[in-house]
């Protein structure tokens, strides 16, 4: 129910934040009940960018529906495509060539770094610091250039497809990724010097937007939001897919539960992703980049589920098949939706300014929440 705006009988003020508001990074509408500047209640209202992607997928074939998922969480489009491809492959029971698996993981990790970089810039901008945005985009630009060269697009990739990947790696790929890793490592100290160590930033982040581990579990939070509260939730570790079980990397955990803990999780996750990229970039096996599949894919009758770790948390893809060429039902379990559900709990009793800081650490992508 949409609450009436104005003043309540207790003297609280009910106002809108959004749907058009720079701090919500999209069309998220929050109906806030305020006592002066203190937040009494927050109610997120969704539906402003609903495109009924799940329903659309029901009329598309198993090859076609993958591209739509790039438009859900557009900052981790590779991982969305990855999840969809994996669930189709699970149904078809095809074995994916090792080369394709390594390429997929490489792309996933590059996207994760790009996504976290954008988040870092946008989050600092939410708090009033404009310069970090340009610093993060400088490194992110290198990744989008690499993507453009190999995948042919900068944001909505549709590169990972059922059976493997759409095209082989560009001959310059390895060289450019190595250059990026060197660049990233030489510039990473700037991130900490500009923002992390900044005393104003720390005062605004520490002790703000607290989420306990119990709450994180009960709200179904995943990804960096859950890991900031000390909940182990990395799908790459818990339910490894592709070549993740052969790789050496750590699940970044912080126990603080506040905005600063979530911030530190993402900052350290970037380093872990770089570590994965470094392990794989010199060890891309030779071979096919695509498994032999039929031109028209038909999944056997039944239910299939696969989860992947996107930059925001756990993405689950659930397909019910009737044995035809199109899915009977598709359901996406998107990380943003459950992470947003924890927001009212996190900001209760804090000030409006802290809401913006807390929302920044949730790393919300509204098309992912609304689909």
Does 150 engage in binding with other proteins (CB under 8 A)?
yes
Listed residue (141, 149, 94, 99) closest to 118, CA to CA: 141
> Cβ closer to other proteins: 29 or 99?
99
CB of 150 to other proteins, least distance (A): 7
Strand partners, 38: 35, 351
Residue 174 structure tokens: 């390895």
Residues 218-277 that bind other proteins (CB under 8 A): none
**Contacting other proteins (CB under 8 A), which of 13, 14, 167, 247?**
167
> Cβ closer to other proteins: 160 or 315?
160
Which span sits near other proteins by CB under 8 A: 8-16, 148-156, 255-263, 330-338?
Answer: 148-156
> Cβ closer to other proteins: 203 or 245?
203
Residues 37-66 that bind other proteins (CB under 8 A): 60, 63-65
> Cβ closer to other proteins: 65 or 241?
65
Q: What are phi and psi of 74, to 5 degrees?
A: -70, -15
Listed residue (290, 284, 285, 286) closest to 174, CA to CA: 284
Residue 86 structure tokens: 């994996």
Per-residue interface string for the shown chain with other proteins, residues 193-222, x marking contact by CB under 8 A: xxx-xxxx----------------------
CB of 68 to other proteins, least distance (A): 7
Residues 96-135 that bind other proteins (CB under 8 A): 131
Listed residue (268, 75, 99, 242) closest to 173, CA to CA: 99
Query: What single string gives the DSSP state of each residue in 24-45?
Result: GTBS-EEEEEEETTEEEEEEEE
CB of 20 to other proteins, least distance (A): 25
Query: What single string gives the DSSP state of each residue in 85-141?
Result: HHHHHHHHTPPPPHHHHHHHHHHHHHHHHHHHHHHHHHHHHHTT--HHHHHHHHHHH
Beta-carbon contacts of 85 under 8 Å, excluding residues fewer than 6 positions away, are 66, 160, 161, 162, 163
> Cβ closer to other proteins: 195 or 205?
195
Site residues (CB under 8 A) for other proteins?
60, 63-65, 67-68, 131, 138, 141, 145, 148-153, 156, 158, 161, 166-167, 170, 190, 193-195, 197-200, 295
């Amino acid at each position: 129910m949409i609450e009436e705006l104005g003043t309540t009988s207790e003297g609280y003020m009910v106002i809108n934040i959004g749907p058009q508001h720079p701090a919500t990074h999209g069309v998220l509408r929050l109906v806030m009940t305020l006592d002066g500047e203190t937040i009494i209640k927050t109610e997120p209202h969704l539906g402003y960018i609903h495109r009924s992607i799940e329903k659309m997928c029901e009329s598309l074939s198993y090859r076609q529906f993958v591209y739509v998922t790039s438009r859900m969480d557009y900052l981790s489009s590779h991982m969305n495509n990855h999840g969809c491809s994996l669930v189709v492959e699970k149904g078809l029971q095809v074995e994916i060539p090792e080369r394709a698996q390594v390429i997929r993981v490489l792309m996933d990790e590059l996207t994760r770094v790009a996504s976290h970089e954008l988040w870092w810039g946008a989050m600092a901008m939410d708090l009033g610091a404009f310069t970090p945005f340009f610093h993060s985009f400088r490194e992110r630009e290198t990744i989008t250039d690499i993507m453009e060269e190999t995948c042919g697009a900068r944001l909505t990739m549709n590169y990972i497809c059922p059976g493997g990947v759409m095209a082989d790696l560009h001959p310059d790929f390895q060289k450019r990724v190595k250059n990026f890793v060197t660049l990233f490592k030489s510039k990473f100290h700037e991130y900490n010097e500009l923002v992390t160590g900044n005393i104003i930033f720390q005062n605004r982040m520490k002790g703000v937007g607290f989420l306990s581990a119990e709450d994180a579990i009960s709200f179904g939070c995943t990804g960096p939001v859950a890991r900031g509260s000390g909940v182990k939730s990395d799908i790459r570790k818990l339910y490894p897919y592709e070549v993740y079980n052969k790789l050496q990397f750590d699940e970044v955990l912080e126990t603080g539960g506040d905005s600063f803990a979530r911030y530190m999780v993402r900052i350290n996750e970037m380093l872990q992703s770089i570590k994965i990229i470094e392990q794989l970039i010199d060890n891309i096996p030779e071979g096919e980049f695509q498994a032999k599949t039929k031109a028209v894919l038909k999944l056997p009758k039944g239910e299939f589920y696969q989860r992947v770790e996107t930059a925001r948390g756990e993405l689950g893809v659930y397909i019910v098949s009737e044995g035809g060429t199109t899915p009977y039902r598709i359901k996406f379990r998107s990380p943003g939706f459950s992470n947003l559900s924890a927001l009212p709990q996190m900001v209760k009793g804090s000030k409006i300014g802290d809401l913006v800081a807390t929302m920044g650490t949730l790393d919300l992508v509204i098309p992912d929440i609304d689909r």
